[in-house]
Amino acid sequence: MFSAIAFPEIDPIIFQVGPFAIRWYALAYVAGLIIGWQLMMRFAGAEGSRISAKQVDDFLIWATLGVIFGGRLGYVLFYKPDYYLSNPGEIFMVWQGGMSFHGGFLGVVLATILYCRHKKIIILEFGDLLATVVPVGLFFGRIANFINGELYGRTTDVPWGMVFPGGGILPRHPSQLYEALLEGAVLFAILLIFRKTRYANKPGFIMGLFFAGYAVARSIVEFFREPDAYLGFLVGSLTMGQLLSLPMLIVGFYFMLRPSHKSS
């Protein structure tokens, strides 16, 4: 016999005036960018970093464009290429949801490389600062997924299972909250702890730790998250999220283990 906690049905739209609507999904991205930006400026100004708060301040617009364009393009290419090829006008309807972390990650990586080269900033040092605050955005993004009732988990008989709108009659894992916890809160705490150790003096280590930590957290949660219906399992029991996390894990270990004399 399955038991379930009632899903707290929250209207995805905070308020609406005519065709103009403010959604929790959009607000989550704004909150993640602004809070992460403020934290990053604080880290740059308070820890003797060669990165100045002004340089972080100027990077905000670059990061925003990287997240939005990369996240949307990644979703279109990785998850629903056939659908969007048939409906190209919907590619730009980001307010309807549909963003890929891995696409947004690649977008921010590209924005960071271009920005650092433009400003003549050491990329790995800037990357360490940026990686520290990324879990903040992930946390808010996953909470927004939960509010939208999307990206829910597999069916379960755990006491905290929930019946999601559109997810059938059986309770499911609230996998969005698992991701908010692991990819967001726990990973953020780990990165903050390591910033207080000698590893923080090795350019690229914190960035690599984020890459590897996210890959592990995402891969774990994928065992509880319902695979996308239009993709299913791709290789055996592996999902798209796990396959896309594998390169991140490899790159993460590379930056953590690389010789410390390489600093640019």
For residues 141 and 29, is the Cβ–Cβ distance under 8 A? yes
- Note whether residue 264 is domain-resident: no
- Note whether residue 235 is domain-resident: yes
- Res 209: pLDDT: 97
Residue 8: what are its φ and ψ, rounded to 5°? -75, 90
- Note whether residue 65 is domain-resident: yes
- pLDDT per residue of the chain (264 residues) written in tens, 0 to 9: 556 788 887 887 887 777 777 888 788 888 988 999 999 988 886 656 788 888 999 998 998 888 888 888 877 776 777 777 777 777 776 655 667 777 888 888 899 999 999 999 999 999 999 999 999 999 998 998 899 888 899 999 999 999 998 888 999 999 999 999 999 999 999 999 999 999 888 999 999 999 999 999 999 999 999 987 656 666 778 888 899 899 999 999 999 998 875 444
CA angle 21, 105, 164 (to 5 degrees): 50
Residues belonging to the binding site are: 142
- Note whether residue 150 is domain-resident: yes
- Res 264: pLDDT: 44
- Res 103: pLDDT: 81
d(CA 83, CA 67): 22
d(CA 12, CA 172): 20
CA angle 2, 7, 10 (to 5 degrees): 170
- Res 133: pLDDT: 95
- Note whether residue 228 is domain-resident: yes
Q: CA nearest 208: which of 75, 116, 62, 109? A: 109
CB proximity list for 91: less than 8 A, separation 6 or greater: 72, 76, 84
Q: Into how many domains does the chain fold? A: 1
- Res 208: pLDDT: 97
- Note whether residue 106 is domain-resident: yes
Q: Which domain holds residue 88?
A: 13-257
- Note whether residue 169 is domain-resident: yes
- Res 207: pLDDT: 95
- Note whether residue 189 is domain-resident: yes
User: How is residue 18 written in tokens?
Assistant: 């005519």
